[in-house]
Chains A and B, each alone.
Chain A
Amino acid sequence: MQGRVLIGVFAPALAFAILAFAIDDGAALDATQYPDWKGQWMRLGSGQGAPWDPAKPWGAGQQAPLTPDYQALFEANLRDQAAGGQGSDPSYRCIPTGMPRVMIAVQPMEIVITPDTTYVMLELFGTLRRIFTDGRDWPKDIEPSFAGYSIGKWEDTDGDGRFDTLVAETRAIKGPHSYDSSGIPFHEDGRAIVRERITSDKANPSVLHNEITAIDSALTQPWTVQRSYRRLPAKEPIWSEYVCSENNRHVLIGSENYVIGADGLLMPTRKNQSPPDLRHFQ
């Protein structure tokens, strides 16, 4: 483990400043123990509309194992979307998609591994997941959040002395949230549990697999999907700043949705929609 590297750094103003960095190994984070998941990851295999289960069509085609109550809610949401509404998906108002939907990775994703925490940084909504791998127990009280609270454990499944799989469980996920843009709902009790097995592809280290199981009171059985991601080859990937509010034209006033036109004026979203009540203006 004695890789010694000479890094030459040229000071911008004066080229003679060449710094010698003698290298030796550290103990705190031995990267050789962990898989190399550095870089920029993008979803693989999602069909049109980025459905939750990439192997099935968006919407009713997902065949979500919903209870009758939640199936009825889902169908009402689909009817609303078909009529031009937003259904039950709050992300149009720049509310984060949350877990587990954020793991569709509609925008790029970065994974930063440290011994006690693995950070999953999602460009979409700037969501940051902290997956604690420090052996902690579940806290007594967890403040619900869209990203949820995640505890993970590294596994060496092939016994080669290196971790290859991160097993994570996420609880305390705040709602409302849905599996994907079709609005497949989670139960309003907020007790969903999401389990993940994130692992490198055996043949291609630039492919990552994530087996995601949702356990939720709105389901008749746990729902497992297989998602995959590919690492983009750029050595210095371009990270964009996703600012949902910047160009978002949707406005919620009371329970009514409106849009802001290009001229800055309020507009209806459906035929014969009433304007907002201006009772507070003189």
Chain B
Amino acid sequence: MMRIPKHPTRGSVAGLAVLALFGVIAWAGGGGGASTETNPVTTGPGGGRVSGAPSPAPADIQSFRVNFWENVRGGNRCGNCHGAGGQAPQFARSDDVNAAYQQAAATVDRDFPGQSLMVTKVGGGHNCWLADAGACASILARWIQDWVGESASGGRQIELEAPIALDPGASKRFPATPPAEFAAVYDLLDRFCSDCHQSNAATPQSPYFAAGERPFNPSLAVHAEAYNAAIPKINLDQPADSRLVIRLERESHNCWSADCKQDAAAMRAAIQAMSDAIDTTQIDPGMVVSKALTLRDGTVASGGNRYENNLIALYEFKSGVGATAYDTSGQDPAADLTLSGDVSWVGGWGINVRTGKAQASTTASRKFHQLITATGEYSIEAWVTPGNVTQEDTRIVSYSGSATARNFTLGQTLYSYDFLGRSTATDANGLPRLSTPDADQRLQASLQHVVVTFDPVNGRRIHVNGEFTGDLDSAGGGTLGDWDNSFAFVLGNEVSNDRQWTGVIRMVAVHNRALTLQQIQQNFEAGVGEKFFLLFGVEHLVNMPRSYILFEVSQYDSYGYLFNNPKFISLDPAATPGSIVLRGMRIGVNGVEPHVGQAYRLLDTVISDAGYSAAGGQALSSIGTIIAVERGADEDEFFLCFDQLGASSGVCSNYASVGSSSVADVPRPPDIGVRTFDGINATMAAVTGVDPNTAAVKAVFSNVRQSLPATHGIEAFLSSHQTAIAQLAIQYCDALIESPAASSYFPGLDLGGAASTVFASDAGKDLLIDPLIERMIGTGLATQPLGTSLKGGTAPAGEPARPGLYALVGQLANCGGSCSADRTRLVAKATCGAVLGSGAVLIR
């Protein structure tokens, strides 16, 4: 998309506005600059840009020589062509540094080193000395940044550029389930890509859009996986721009015939057929919408302000493809990492380590030994998202030889970061380890900035999210003379592959100085990943020239964008809003409004002259929200929708109320249940008349309370419950029989008599049994067993006979003529216990 040219009269007023708005100085003082403060604007209105090309000065030439010229003039880099007598510009000529300086100075953008001609040219594929043009561009930008950063006199500012005003487009959307027409695309993918692009391939490469086997069946989970993996690689609106087509046509990526263009055409035709079968989603004309933007239409806002004076290795994972993560520190030799195992690239820069690692060669890794032992101190800095908080003794960043020999390691154990470092104060395995305490739970499964530092005085220190954890190194400081230069630098695992860490690594930097807390905080504040300022045009909705809703947007991970800090602003410094009502703002993606993540849906504010300033606009919210990625960062088109903005109003979306759902009948469980613990105790007390506070009863209840049924469900009744019930029952019966109340409870029963006499007849037994049945089981109740059945052991029809209470009493009373004196009471207690602990009492 073309840019609107910068307004010729915007000058410093607009610059001032933007400077104050963000409070950031992109790359102020260069990558190594310590300053993070916004530079004061000293020019008056119309005084031109804040920063500009400084006059050539000896200091600048010296900086050029050290930071840039020495790096590019080699025959394996730009010096091969752009040397003396070579192609213009001869900025890499070795014969005359002053002449080279003059040539180079004319081609670099001191405000935005990343936009220098030589950077964009190399980034576009012009003779990169690495396999990844992006990595060359990053390195080149860093050299320029180091050069101008040391000498530039002006600060850096984000300068907003007005995007071209485009209406949110009607677009085609992928159906949630695979359409039948995807089968043709899948056939090609499965036939020609499944050697790599499926998880069970010999060399699996995500995305797994060739998962499964033909024929395509949309109801199979594995084919749904293939469809979902293919979605980001397909452009329904412009099939020729689909990544699946471009990869074949322009990049000749594993074409299956000798003619890549023909293969690409086949793929394009299949995608076109799929696209033709999908209807276009039109934006409702009644909706109040802003102009539309993609992420790439925004102004890049990140990349600066980090403290990197002593950087010796830097991994930003910008490549996004391939099996190499480049060291873009610009510090030779580059310790590039080879990705192996299940390690995939993450949207918004990063790698996702599942099972595998990213490791540098031992040769390239020697620079860590060489550069760190030279200073005797170091820092490892990383932006990581641990995959979970359950992994133990794992390696995030390590420079080691095995699981028991290392120079340094940053690792994870549950909620703790571990720091192992070899020095004269520790052993060859870097032990004792320094860990953040478990209870602090410093490590969370979310994006965190962790920096571990070592210096000879303080020893090891751990900093998380810009904060020193306060944990002191028990081993103290030391020197690094024992370091081993044969180790390899590795991410995500031990070099011996037996300390697997899972999670996402967004950035890793190694410095050969211990960063100060201030420097760490500076790097933490700088953040990680790409950030864009998106200007959503609303001039057509409000009576204010060049007005926009400004969002900070970044790709948060592979699955979501972070929309943050919305502001209303005009690029016309003279404009004022008056009074503009803003109510209900929603973020739209590709022509429709996602239902999830609409954090500004309830926004209700007035943009007024009082709240607005030309410098900072008017903040609408300090809240950020996550909007799901649909087609990928290059293609997703965003717009805003408003319930009301100014005089315009409409309804973005109607969220339908969900009525109560119908309720189905469920099988009716049994109507009966068992008494529960307190109920059993209370029932036993009630039917025996024994006070539950009786010491012996209370003690037993206290013992067996939690062994008694806790729920009334009869299906949950266990034999252990019955054991506890029997204990309690016999205790209640003991208390009853031994109490004076026993005589009134059992009228006519001689508890002091001889058992053989007292229970000689059924009538004698009835004196014991009848009161028990009447009080405990009840009489005249159809829902309870009949007393006669209980006494005689009569079983229901069809069931075997069972012993009754008569038989029980008779058996107990029969002691062969040698009964003890208390036998009658014992028989009474046992019989009472049998009735009291029975199902007839317990079931209700």
Real binding pair: no
